[in-house]
Amino acid sequence: MRRQNLALVLGAVAAHGPLSRADAAAATGLTRAAVSSLVVELLQGGLVVELGPAPSGRVGRPGNALALSPRGPAGLGLEVGVEHLAACVVDLRGEVRAEARLPAANRGRPADAVLAELAGLAERVTAEARGLGLRPVGATLAVPGLVDAATGTVVRAPNLGWSALELPGTLLGLPLVAENEANLGALAELWQGGALDVVHVSAEAGIGAALVVGGRLFRGARGFAGELGHVPVRPDGPDCACGARGCLEQYAGEQAVLAAAGLDPAPEDQVGLLAARAAAGEPRVLAALEQAGTALGTALSGAVNLVDPAAVVLGGAYAELGAWLLPGMRRELAGRVLVRPWRPELLTVSALGRRGPLLGAALVTIRRILDDPGSAAASGPPRSAG
Amino acid sequence: MRRQNLALVLGAVAAHGPLSRADAAAATGLTRAAVSSLVVELLQGGLVVELGPAPSGRVGRPGNALALSPRGPAGLGLEVGVEHLAACVVDLRGEVRAEARLPAANRGRPADAVLAELAGLAERVTAEARGLGLRPVGATLAVPGLVDAATGTVVRAPNLGWSALELPGTLLGLPLVAENEANLGALAELWQGGALDVVHVSAEAGIGAALVVGGRLFRGARGFAGELGHVPVRPDGPDCACGARGCLEQYAGEQAVLAAAGLDPAPEDQVGLLAARAAAGEPRVLAALEQAGTALGTALSGAVNLVDPAAVVLGGAYAELGAWLLPGMRRELAGRVLVRPWRPELLTVSALGRRGPLLGAALVTIRRILDDPGSAAASGPPRSAG
């Protein structure tokens, strides 16, 4: 009961803060005395801070305003991409306080080496965060592939060449959980006020999607829902790294688009390269992106006809290519979605873009703390996201 | 509270009957006195009947065993297919007690005429049921298209040529609700003990699917989920009645298969015709069914990669073509589903076959009665299925 009430008060501060103890009592329906006692615990745990006296229309002594702490417990987000590694620390308010990103050629690279380099990056951002008074209490790793959250196993990540890879349960002494990167991108969007019934596309080297249903992640029977990148676009199309043929990734994945555009891979940022060349008006690049947008739209039309979401969001690095991808996507959706008219504004671009999955990874720990403030003190057991 | 307890006792009789009042008390956790009082009401409502004395290990007077009534309240199921009309009455035990099916060329036929003929068929089966002591208290209509259950509107049924068709709220004085036929086929399977996380395909002239998630129908944000027939198989394939191109129906729908098989449509039963010719070993028919199975498997692979069900069920009339469709479906699923190995036994054929949607339609009313026994007396307001 006290744990639930702690979460209630912390939730009120998160949703409406800064606010006084009296306002917290009004928002939660708890007595002023109960709130005061709970606030003592939240202050001791470093979860809230007192700002100056709160303005109040009430008679009597003005109370100090409470706000989520910009120090104290924090979440560590980690990401293994096909071409990069990234880490960030987010405070209780959801603000990124330390962040680092490294280019890395991870395709086919031994997982040990990838995780060792990632640990170095994580050490750097956590040290920086500690210097700011933050204390990371949990870590979540975003992976471009199928993750079995219950066992911490990466079942299959075709673009990395990982399969049946068991991840360590801790990193830098923090409990570590893994999660599909598209799921984390969708959660980041959802937790920042996004729509409740969404197909959230997360595209870069690989193409994934997350299905959000009624404000919750839809995981499927075994936890592997959302593999949009391996929806067939043309059944007899090119061979895919997954072993099938004609998957969406073979038409809209980064490598396919670079090849169609006649570009050599950049040393680091393929999406940045494509955006720059498209902005410069290079006809082959424009045609390649048009073709990719059309393929994305074809596969998404099938997804929309199957799951009937209220909105489709383009996230991941491809959010930066929205200007060139959206016309083809919208044309396909308008022509193929059975419930008509399909309104073009139902497809939007995520403002988080390529930072979504990393931010979502860090926010998993923050959401866990807000749901159960006691877990921050104990660094509670790892749980799955969403 | 009493309504809930009525449902509790009736549910115990449905799940474990015939059983004595004492056993019903044990199964529900209610007192023997409470059960006896509730049973009086269930007997008066004609929902349960007393059989002979129940065998009992208990000391004391043996009680009469209670069972769901084979008379009394019943459900009327109705179906408009592209090539047929059907109606049936199901008793509380879920048994079909009266059933009629008419061939009918409904493609493009005025909805008024279709519904008038259907009403005649409904009148015939309800009269037959009344002769058996049954009293239909609600009707549900299975439609091959998008149904807005909240407003009773058929939003779009491309193969019938219906769009924005408002259905009457009653038929023969019974409250009438409409529901997508694939959804009803899936519910029939689920309510008869089927798996809890399923993509249920319902194929005939049109091809639909229902997604069952955690034992509940997944409807999507607006209620239009499951349109497998309009998942693109080849983006630049033949024109579809829906206005798009290359939809699954253009490869695996009845008309497409007949054309590929070089057969003229039969006066009545296309699927029966295909099954007969395939059983006779006609090479063109076998090839056409092989191609249809492959297209079904391609579209289903995308669906499985997106929603990760625990099982896939082939229902509807095509269940009768399983012998010829399944090899191609299984080959595609094995080659394209990202989570491997994909086990062939995850795809099964519904034992209900083409009767599934009609049976599901009748069972909607039965489930409503079991959930709220009081509604049978009052012929309560129509509610949506699932």
Mean pLDDT (chain A, rounded): 91
* Cβ contact B228–A305 (<8 Å): yes
Greater model confidence, B371 or B2: B371
Structure tokens belonging to residue B224: 């239009």
Which residues form the domain of A278?
193-351
pLDDT of residue A381: 39
The verdict on residue A130 lying in a domain is: yes
Work out the burial of residue A5: count CB atoms within 10 Å of its CB; fewer than 13 is exposed, 13-18 middle, 19 or more buried.
Answer: middle
Mean local confidence (pLDDT), B325-346: 93
A-chain residues near B213 (CB < 8 A): 218
Q: Are residues B345 and B360 in the same domain?
A: no
Q: Are residues A345 and A364 in the same domain?
A: no
pLDDT of residue A385: 46
Give percent of chain B above pLDDT 90.
79
pLDDT of residue B63: 67
Handedness of CA A260, A263, A268, A270 (dihedral sign): negative
The verdict on residue B14 lying in a domain is: yes
- Closest partner residue to B234 (CB to CB) among A235, A242, A307 is A235
pLDDT above 70 for B378: no
pLDDT above 90 for B306: yes
Query: To 5 degrees, how large is the angle CA A124–CA A127–CA A128?
Result: 85
* Cβ contact B221–A302 (<8 Å): no
pLDDT of residue B1: 80
pLDDT above 90 for B333: yes
Confidence of residue A6 (pLDDT cuts 50, 70, 90): very high
From the CA of A230, how many Å to the nearest CA of chain B? 7
Collect all residues with Cβ–Cβ distance below 8 Å to B16 and sequence separation of at least 6: B23, B27
How many domains in chain A? Answer: 3
pLDDT above 60 for A380: no
pLDDT of residue B162: 92
* Cβ contact A225–B308 (<8 Å): yes
pLDDT above 60 for A65: yes
Count CB-CB contacts under 10 A for residue B266.
Answer: 15
Strand partners, B198: B212, B311
Query: Could you tell me which of B234, B201, B220 has the C-alpha nearest to residue B386?
Result: B220
Work out the burial of residue A297: count CB atoms within 10 Å of its CB; fewer than 13 is exposed, 13-18 middle, 19 or more buried.
Answer: buried
Nearest chain A residue to B337 by CA: give it. A230
CATH number at residue A15: 1.10.10.10
pLDDT of residue A54: 55
Structure tokens belonging to residue A307: 């799951």
* Cβ contact A218–B223 (<8 Å): no
Greater model confidence, A331 or A194: A331
Greater model confidence, B356 or A384: B356
pLDDT above 90 for B150: no
Mean local confidence (pLDDT), A164-190: 94
List the single range of A78-92, A115-129, A254-268 with lowest mean pLDDT: A254-268
pLDDT above 80 for B135: yes
Q: How many CA atoms lie within 13 A of A236 on its CB side?
A: 3
pLDDT of residue B57: 53
Paired sense of beta strands A146-148 and A198-203, if any: unpaired
The verdict on residue A101 lying in a domain is: yes
ipTM of the complex: 0.88
Structure tokens belonging to residue B156: 């779009």
- Closest partner residue to B156 (CB to CB) among A303, A309, A338 is A338
Confidence of residue A378 (pLDDT cuts 50, 70, 90): very low
Greater model confidence, B254 or B56: B254
A-chain residues near B211 (CB < 8 A): 306-307
Give percent of chain B above pLDDT 70.
95
- Closest partner residue to A303 (CB to CB) among B222, B306, B310 is B306
Mean local confidence (pLDDT), B36-59: 81
Residue found under tokens 């790892």: A382
pLDDT of residue B377: 65
* Cβ contact A335–B197 (<8 Å): no
A-chain residues near B305 (CB < 8 A): 227-228, 230-231
A-chain residues near B206 (CB < 8 A): none
The verdict on residue B43 lying in a domain is: yes
Quickly count helices (H) and strands (E) in chain B.
12, 16
Structure tokens belonging to residue A305: 């006809």
Q: How far apart are CA A15 and CA B241, in angstroms?
A: 49
The verdict on residue A384 lying in a domain is: no
End-of-domain residue from the set A49, A68, A87: A68
pLDDT of residue B58: 53
Work out the burial of residue A371: count CB atoms within 10 Å of its CB; fewer than 13 is exposed, 13-18 middle, 19 or more buried.
Answer: middle
- Closest partner residue to B307 (CB to CB) among A220, A232, A299 is A220
A-chain residues near B218 (CB < 8 A): 213, 307
End-of-domain residue from the set A23, A39, A68: A68
Nearest chain B residue to A218 by CA: give it. B307
Q: Are residues A225 and A321 in the same domain?
A: yes
pLDDT of residue A383: 41
Structure tokens belonging to residue A13: 């501060």
pLDDT of residue A2: 86
Mean local confidence (pLDDT), A179-195: 93
User: How many Cβ contacts (< 8 angstroms) between chains A and B?
Assistant: 142
Q: Are residues B11 and B114 in the same domain?
A: no
Mean local confidence (pLDDT), A30-48: 94
Q: Are residues A202 and A336 in the same domain?
A: yes
Confidence of residue B374 (pLDDT cuts 50, 70, 90): confident
CB-CB contact of B27 with B19 (8 Å): yes
Q: Are residues A346 and A234 in the same domain?
A: yes
Mean pLDDT (chain B, rounded): 91
pLDDT above 80 for B386: no
- Closest partner residue to B339 (CB to CB) among A146, A235, A305 is A146
Q: Are residues A182 and A148 in the same domain?
A: yes
* Cβ contact A306–B225 (<8 Å): yes
Structure tokens belonging to residue B122: 């409904």
* Cβ contact A306–B336 (<8 Å): no
- Closest partner residue to A306 (CB to CB) among B155, B158, B306 is B306
Confidence of residue A150 (pLDDT cuts 50, 70, 90): confident
CATH number at residue A134: 3.30.420.40
Confidence of residue A53 (pLDDT cuts 50, 70, 90): low
* Cβ contact A197–B231 (<8 Å): no
pLDDT digits (tens, 9 = 90+) for B258-284: 999 999 987 778 999 999 999 999 999
* Cβ contact B219–A146 (<8 Å): no
DSSP A96: E
From the CA of B236, how many Å to the nearest CA of chain A? 9
From the CA of B176, how many Å to the nearest CA of chain A? 23
Mean local confidence (pLDDT), A103-131: 95
Distances (CA, A) of A354 to A45, A349, A360, B204, B280: 33, 11, 11, 44, 58
Please list the alpha-helical segments (H only) found in B102-214.
111-131, 181-191
Phi and psi at B152, nearest 5°, equal: 70, 30
- Closest partner residue to B231 (CB to CB) among A146, A227, A305 is A305
The verdict on residue B62 lying in a domain is: yes
Mean local confidence (pLDDT), B326-344: 93
* Cβ contact B338–A224 (<8 Å): yes
- This prediction's pTM: 0.89
pLDDT of residue B249: 96
pLDDT of residue A172: 94
- Closest partner residue to B235 (CB to CB) among A158, A298, A309 is A298
* Cβ contact A338–B219 (<8 Å): no
pLDDT digits (tens, 9 = 90+) for B189-222: 999 888 899 999 998 888 999 999 999 999 999 8
pLDDT of residue B265: 83
Q: Are residues A343 and A199 in the same domain?
A: yes
Mean local confidence (pLDDT), A279-288: 97
From the CA of B225, how many Å to the nearest CA of chain A? 5
Choosing among A338, A342, A346, which should be mutated to test the B contact, i.e. which has the most B CBs within 10 A?
A338
pLDDT of residue B252: 97
A-chain residues near B209 (CB < 8 A): 306
Q: How far apart are CA B356 and CA B316, in angstroms?
A: 6
pLDDT above 90 for B106: yes
Q: Are residues A198 and A345 in the same domain?
A: yes
B-chain residues near A301 (CB < 8 A): 231-232, 244
CB-CB contact of A293 with A286 (8 Å): no
Choosing among B231, B240, B331, which should be mutated to test the A contact, i.e. which has the most A CBs within 10 A?
B231
Q: Are residues A178 and A230 in the same domain?
A: no
Distances (CA, A) of A57 to A20, A23, A60, B112: 11, 11, 9, 66
- Closest partner residue to A234 (CB to CB) among B234, B245, B336 is B234
Q: Are residues A117 and A257 in the same domain?
A: no
List the single range of A265-274, A319-328, B59-68, B310-319 with lowest mean pLDDT: B59-68
Q: How far apart are CA A261 and CA A255, in angstroms?
A: 10
End-of-domain residue from the set B22, B53, B68: B68
* Cβ contact B306–A223 (<8 Å): no
The verdict on residue B384 lying in a domain is: no
pLDDT of residue A1: 79
Nearest chain B residue to A200 by CA: give it. B306
Mean local confidence (pLDDT), A115-142: 97
pLDDT of residue B263: 94
Choosing among A162, A222, A250, A305, which should be mutated to test the B contact, i.e. which has the most B CBs within 10 A?
A305
Nearest chain B residue to A241 by CA: give it. B338
* Cβ contact B197–A221 (<8 Å): yes
- Closest partner residue to A307 (CB to CB) among B155, B244, B307 is B307
pLDDT above 60 for B55: no
pLDDT of residue A29: 93
pLDDT of residue B380: 38
Q: Are residues A180 and A329 in the same domain?
A: no
The verdict on residue A386 lying in a domain is: no
Confidence of residue B158 (pLDDT cuts 50, 70, 90): confident
Secondary structure class of B108 (helix, strand, coil)? coil
pLDDT above 70 for B56: no
